[in-house]
Structure 1
Amino acid sequence: MKKLFILFALFAITAQAQYKIEGTLNPADKFSWVILYKIEGAKQLFVKSGKIENGQFKFELPADAKVGMYRVSYKTEGAGFVDFLFNKEDIRFRFNPNSAEESIHFDSSSENILYQDYIKVVALEQYKLDSLQVAYLKGPSANTEKLYNNQLKEITALQASYVKKAKGKMVEDFIKANNRYNSTSISKDSQAYLNMVVKHFFDNIDFNNKTLYNSTFLVDRITDYVFYMNYSEDEKTQENLHKKAIKDVLGRVKDPVFKKDIVEFLVTQFINYQRVTFVDYLMSSYYDPLPKNIKDQEFLALVKEKTIVEVGRIAPDISWTENGKNYKLSTLKEASNYVLIFWSTTCSHCTREIPLLHSFMKGKKNTKIIAFGMEESSANWKSYIKGLSGWHHILGLNKWENPTARTYQIYSTPTYIVLNSNKKIIAKPQTLEQLQKIISGLE
């Protein structure tokens, strides 16, 4: 009996030690499933999933659940998530799923309520200070300078008061790191002001703080610094600014695993921006020198896959037989430029655009067309290409599963890829009109 009593007592303690994470979506909309993640470095790790019923969901975390930042995601595509801090307490919040970040409100959780209040109050006061600085740059006045000094004292006092309120809480690290540098005197020159903001951007941020590390905070700040704080419309200047900013950021990171995560994050961003040469720079300068045991082979394979047919790369080679003669893309020497087209006789856009392009190409001597037909059978293709004389034609059976189509990452037809004489990809126009403009420029 005594053992049974102890067992029940232990069960009761364990049950009470669980923490509830409850959320309400208003309007409930069409969302029915939610996933809970734990943020670790630059990655999100799956914790559990659950259903959204009548706009509500609930998770339970065990007593030994890791503290830190968590994320609930309610969309399979696009931005649809809410981040929150967990430090051994129940959390209840509500939000509009169509504008989650702007509408989230915490009904319980001292950590999140304090942090949300801090962000809201200090952001408003910072806006007032920035407005005074801008006003002074437009028209200097002693009164504006006086107001700036008073507002600076207000922000300094607010920051100190919130640090005091957060003492001993996890949110203290975030409040301290959020403390933006403000000049002790109003700036007299706009460029000097901008230089000051960039120079002191990370003054209050400790890149080796584990609490900040296991959140989105550092990645968000790095994104702001690299892509927004260091910006120029001049392409060469922009590249140099990016290099300088990334060197500055990675020089602050001591943990090699986190450094790896940051480089992977930045590489992914530049892949999305189709900056393949900069991806190569990041890989050779920062990823290759990393310890071999922490490199991610799946990531390396993904980088190769995602950049193999980007502008600036040599097009993957293609071999084919045409009228009894063997050809290779890499050895063609028939023109100064080539257009590789992936199309299909079953694609209505293709059957509309391909004849228009064929007519447009008459008299064009510097550009040669290589048409890759993605087909399930050869019958319609053989008949159709009889009206497309003067082009190279390649039959690619199995359509979307064709190895060449997969190598070139073809997800829609028609897809146009423009190559120079060395078969280097120089453009990937999205429309026939864009292609025609490029060809005209090359002729």
Structure 2
Amino acid sequence: MLKELMMFLFFVPVTISAQFSIQGLFSPAESYNYVLIYQVTPNAHNYVGNAEIKNGKFHFELDSTNPKGIYKLVYALPQEDYNFDIIYSAEEDIEFSFDQETGVRFVKSSENMLVSSYTRDMNMVNQEIDAYFSKSKSLDRVILRNLFSKKIEIQDIYENNAIETIALSFIKSSKSYVPDSYTTLDDYYKNLKRDYFIHVDFSDVYLQSSNFLIDRISHYIFENDDVKTSDMLKYQNRVDDVYVALKKAKVNTKIALLFQLWQQMVDFGLDATANHISNRYLLNLLNNHGNSELAGLLKNFQNISLGSIAPDFFWQQSNEYTSSKITLKSLNVAKRYIIVFWSSSCSHCQEEIPELRRFLESKSEEKIQVIAVGLEETSFNWSNLILDYPNFIHVLGLGKWTNEIALKYNVSGTPTYFILNEDKEIILKPDSLDELKEYFRY
């Protein structure tokens, strides 16, 4: 009896602290140094830990305190751009390989492999259907029926194999339209679009915790095509479709997804579509939900959107006799204006501002005026450096990131550029000096 008790006590701690691991192989190895691991819920990213990537490999132990669910692996900066989701069942190890060209491939973990295999097989049959519709002048009903039967079979097999797993949430919500009788090409794609969100469960906590919902919304709007500003109206109409699909979703879910979609439009330079999202849907939701901070961010963006009149500000212009207050609005000295936010402590600025000056010297006949706003803690270094740029209008922005002008223009880094026409409308927000120079070349 005593021997049995000792054996029991010996094995209990092992059972309680049973560990599973996440390990991966990154390629090319020299491009990766660390991986960060988060456990994700609909409302939070909970930091779990990190691991060093050596020779492309890393290994991280999870313990019994780590719940099953969705985990996010971050492998580079910025974190929001370089990450992917994994399913952790708390019942098995996870092993994968990752290549920056082909993405992630799971080699151990039944749930992750199940979702990956489903996605691959469903993509293959959808490609077969697309190829048949695009290449066939006359449609064979038997071939079409067999293709659609294959699609139904794949869906059924994977749903049955995923019962009582987290993977089932992703497989069921990925289900797409299948006609129950013969259909034409136009009707098929019209109904595919109509039913795109019909199986998506926006209340599912696993989907909310992952990138699945925003990825599916983005795919619906952009259709994997190159983003084009000429398609702005099409994107706005599809945003309207998305909001209809979100009708039964909780307010927090609507806000989270619409804000992510808004941010995508901002990143793509689709200012009009971003403002369509905020004006038509998101601002009302935020105001009704008491989120004034996020609402303020959206309104501030509208003020610096393409086509908007640039927010006004003033500076003191002095000579040896007088000092006068000048406003951006009243300035009338050029056909186009460049507002550049820079800082004397910014190394990139020290490289780009002289290059900007040299470039504009070659454009002296085009009536371009630079307004250089120096975001500084003190004026000492700034007052010496501006002597090298006598043709710029210089504005001192004390307080740096909290300076009123910087806040008006939503500046979070330097250098930041805005190009205005003679009426002070914002016509371009170049991401780099090269983009600015490219604009003025034509």
Q: TM-score, normalised by structure 1?
A: 0.79
CA distance in 2: counterparts of 1:372 and 1:26, whole angstroms: 43
Distance 1:55 1:241, change over 3 A: same
Distance 1:67 1:238, change over 3 A: same
CA contact (8 A) 1:309 1:425 kept: yes
CA distance in 2: counterparts of 1:261 and 1:13, whole angstroms: 39
Distance 1:334 1:194, change over 3 A: same
Show the counterpart of 1:134: 134
Following TM superposition, by how much is the alpha carbon of 1:383 offset from its aligned partner in structure 2, in angstroms?
A: 6.7
Alignment gaps of 5+ in structure 1: 362-367, 438-443
Distance 1:338 1:54, change over 3 A: closer
Percent of residue pairs identical: 19
Count of residue pairs the alignment pairs up: 416
Show the counterpart of 2:29: 28
- Give SS of 2:188's match: helix
- Aligned to 2:324, which of 315, 326, 336? 326
Distance 1:58 1:303, change over 3 A: farther
CA distance in 1: counterparts of 2:366 and 2:412, whole angstroms: 24
Structure 1 residues 152-191: aligned runs within 5 Å: 152-190=148-186
CA contact (8 A) 2:275 2:302 kept: no
Structure 1 residues 28-427: aligned runs within 5 Å: 28-41=29-42, 44-77=45-78, 79-99=81-101, 101=103, 103-107=104-108, 109-136=109-136, 139-141=137-139, 144-190=140-186, 192-228=187-223, 235=231, 237-238=233-234, 240-253=236-249, 255-290=250-285, 296=291, 299-300=294-295, 302-303=297-298, 308-316=303-311, 317-323=313-319, 324-332=322-330, 334=332, 338-342=336-340, 347-361=353-367, 369=369, 371-372=371-372, 374=374, 376-378=381-383, 381-382=386-387, 385=390, 388=391, 393-396=393-396, 403=403, 406-407=406-407, 408=409, 409=411, 415=417, 417-421=419-423, 423-427=424-428
Deviations 1:4-26 (A, max 9, x none): 9987655333222x332222335
CA contact (8 A) 2:133 2:185 kept: no
- Give SS of 1:25's match: strand
- Give SS of 1:221's match: helix
Following TM superposition, by how much is the alpha carbon of 1:270 offset from its aligned partner in structure 2, in angstroms?
A: 1.9
Alignment gaps of 5+ in structure 2: 343-348
CA distance in 2: counterparts of 1:41 and 1:401, whole angstroms: 31
CA contact (8 A) 1:338 1:418 kept: yes
Deviations 1:367-416 (A, max 9, x none): x735437593445644752xx4xxx7335478977947744438566945
Distance 1:321 1:68, change over 3 A: same
Distance 1:371 1:40, change over 3 A: same
Deviations 1:82-104 (A, max 9, x none): 42211122223231332352x51
CA distance in 1: counterparts of 2:440 and 2:339, whole angstroms: 11
Distance 1:370 1:29, change over 3 A: closer
